[in-house]
Structure 1
Amino acid sequence: MASFEVDRKFLGKLAKQVEPNNALLASMLFKILGLSINLAEQTTTARKQRRLDTSRTAQSIELYFHILWLSREGLIMLEQYVLPMVGDHGELKVLAFKLRASFYHVFVLFHNNPSISTVGINAPIPGIPQVPRLEKGKGVDRSDTFTEMGRPSVQPMHPTEGGPVGPPPGFGPRLPEPAGAFLLPSVDYRPTAHEYFKQAVTLADSLLWGSHSLRLSVKTEYAAFLYECLHDQEGSRKLAADTITEVYEASEGMDDDMFQDACDLVNVLGKMVKRGLEPKTPPNPDPPITSGVGAVPAAGMENFI
């Protein structure tokens, strides 16, 4: 998912750059750009709802399925057509690695098992039929007990025959899968997402300068992932603060557009530095003089707010 406007700018710019020499790669980048714009709108809608409301099943489940499908298809295009062709193109390689981590970030937020976020739907939804799982060589697991007509013998039932059969030792009842399991496996995506973010950060540090807006985009989303998905608040704040320091220490020049993008991302990082901290409340000022009608304020306090 192109999480920021800067990612979408680079997707379009790099697609145009490679188009004369690699039309297929350019086509895939343009497709991922369109998919990312759609996905960003869907995830924004889901975040505004705070939680996909299962009482509004039709709307919520459609949004949930759409987010998972877009993320899955974007990841497939990225891994099959973009990553194998990035070559030595530094910005494109960093962007591709960042997008791979971003798609897994979406999986963690909306479809992780166990659930770590409040924005996804990770439990079976009432009214949505669950498709029975096929086991290799065993067919559909049926839990229906034999009826009298279905017994293999007409002989009287033996005292040890019939009745519920418990699972073998160590095998408990299978829990129903989330509604989106037919789109994506219901697993813990955090380790994979974290590894891909670390790879993207390492690549950005080695190929891009400190104030490069794409490098800032990688670290900004990584800081968000640490906070939201790994609940590493201190690590997220430290990463954001260190990134801001690197920006101020960078001496490379940039054009006006990249400078504006860098300023916007530094502003986001500045908010992340303070995220989760207790606000410092200033001491209460002395109460104003209110005795008497038309009391005169102290000198110099006429415009006090």
Structure 2
Amino acid sequence: MASSEVDQKFLGKLAKNVEATNPLLASMLFKILGLSISLAEQLVKAKKQRRPDPVRSPESLELIFHIIWLSREGLVMLQQYVIPMVGNYPELKVLAYKLQASFFHIFVLFHNDPPVSTMGIATPDLAAGMASPGFPPFAPSRTEKGKGLAIEDGWNSSQGSIQPTHPLEGGPVGAPPGLAPPGSAVYLPARFLKEPKNFLPEAHQYFREAVALADQYLWGSHSLRLSVKTEYAAFMYDCLHDAEGSRRLAKDTIAEVYEATEGMDDDMFTDACELVTVLGRMMKRGLGSSNTLRNKGPIISSPPPTAPPAVAVPPPGMENPI
């Protein structure tokens, strides 16, 4: 995903390469790199909760809200500041379009409507003010026509002009929208972070664009190209539920690696080997019966050992009859 180690390596390397000629682009790439590192930690935690209880814990909801928020912010930086400036950098262009698909991949997993994964959540409608299980309903600020925000009950209206005029003005910066401050049990719905919808068609289109660019600019064993194909295969399996297509893509990608004749440095070679290993597992993903046999032992059992043939023993005195 947008948190893969290969993508992070290229984000750092390409940001350093363009820093002298395009400081703004480099700055945005470094920011996306920092966001990606934080996102990686959250995704690891979320994958451990792949089959959660029907009623999520407050910690689980906060984790998913954080993932949605990080992905939304990363996508904004990517689409507004990075993609418009990548025309002259082939590797960076592939990476930018791959990250765009990755962020949408996260939206599909965690925030799609209708849900396509057990990792997602169904949060209440913000306008309806309904509450998630275990949380009180969210009460939006009261408004009066022509008067803006109404003063909350108990608020001292006699405060001086240098003090905040309502509870939302001034003071330290709080948690990101949708995330409760430490010790608070109030959560806004994920709809407040990003409107849920069916992200599948858009995500699929972005993956196809990233794959086309990788095929155009990068050779078969390039680790960034393998990163694009690996996540696309995962997206096909987890989100499109196209197991056969995912296995076929993994198999074809491995074949492209072995057919490639271009050289690579040691670091890229190590990354390519790791990704080929992942693709090899994806080739067998979903083949339950054969995998079960393989896990339990060899598919074909060895025949039981047979006793050696009997050897005739000559009587005493006849050991050498000739």
TM-score range, shorter chain: 0.7 to 0.9
For 1:260, the aligned partner's letter is T
2:239 counterpart of 1:225: no
2:20 counterpart of 1:10: no
Using the alignment, how far apart are the partners of 1:56 and 1:74 within structure 2? 26
Moved over 6 A (4+): none
| TM-superposed deviation, 1:57 | 2.6
| TM-superposed deviation, 1:179 | 2.9
Give 3-state SS (helix, strand or coil) of 1:91's partner: helix
Using the alignment, how far apart are the partners of 1:269 and 1:243 within structure 2? 8
Using the alignment, how far apart are the partners of 2:139 and 2:203 within structure 1? 29
For 1:74, the aligned partner's letter is G
- Aligned-residue Cα RMSD (Å) equals 2.3
Match of 1:84 in 2: 84
| TM-superposed deviation, 1:128 | 3.3
Using the alignment, how far apart are the partners of 1:51 and 1:20 within structure 2? 47
* 1:136-182 alpha-carbon deviations (Å, 9 max, x no partner): xx9xxxxxxxxxxxxxxxxxxxxxxxxxxxxxxxxxxxxxxx93111
* 1:20-50 alpha-carbon deviations (Å, 9 max, x no partner): 0111111110110010011111011010121
For 1:242, the aligned partner's letter is D
The alpha-carbon distance between structure 1 residues 132 and 122, as it changes in their structure 2 partners (threshold 3 A), is: same
Using the alignment, how far apart are the partners of 1:76 and 1:263 within structure 2? 33
Match of 2:193 in 1: 183
- Contact 2:42/2:67 (8 A) holds in 1: yes
Using the alignment, how far apart are the partners of 1:52 and 1:112 within structure 2? 17
Q: How does 1:1-305 map to 2 (within 5 A)?
A: 1-53=1-53, 55=55, 57-124=57-124, 125-129=132-136, 131=138, 179-280=189-290, 281=293, 282-284=299-301
- Contact 1:197/1:222 (8 A) holds in 2: yes
* 1:181-225 alpha-carbon deviations (Å, 9 max, x no partner): 111111000000000000000000001111100000000000000
Give 3-state SS (helix, strand or coil) of 1:209's partner: coil
Using the alignment, how far apart are the partners of 2:237 and 2:122 within structure 1? 20
- Contact 1:211/1:262 (8 A) holds in 2: yes
The alpha-carbon distance between structure 1 residues 9 and 206, as it changes in their structure 2 partners (threshold 3 A), is: same
* 1:104-128 alpha-carbon deviations (Å, 9 max, x no partner): 0000000101111111212442133
Match of 1:163 in 2: none
* 1:2-22 alpha-carbon deviations (Å, 9 max, x no partner): 342111000000000000011
- Contact 1:51/1:120 (8 A) holds in 2: no
Match of 2:168 in 1: none
Give 3-state SS (helix, strand or coil) of 2:249's partner: helix
Aligned length: 249
* 1:199-258 alpha-carbon deviations (Å, 9 max, x no partner): 000000001111100000000000000000000001000000000000100000101110
Match of 1:151 in 2: none
The alpha-carbon distance between structure 1 residues 186 and 130, as it changes in their structure 2 partners (threshold 3 A), is: farther
| TM-superposed deviation, 1:100 | 0.2
For 2:201, the aligned partner's letter is P
The alpha-carbon distance between structure 1 residues 266 and 222, as it changes in their structure 2 partners (threshold 3 A), is: same
Moved more, 272-281 or 206-215: 272-281
| TM-superposed deviation, 1:284 | 4.8
| TM-superposed deviation, 1:298 | 5.8
Using the alignment, how far apart are the partners of 2:247 and 2:57 within structure 1? 37
- Contact 2:6/2:224 (8 A) holds in 1: yes
Unaligned stretches of 5+ residues in structure 1: 139-177, 289-296, 300-305
- Contact 1:110/1:122 (8 A) holds in 2: no
Give 3-state SS (helix, strand or coil) of 1:115's partner: coil
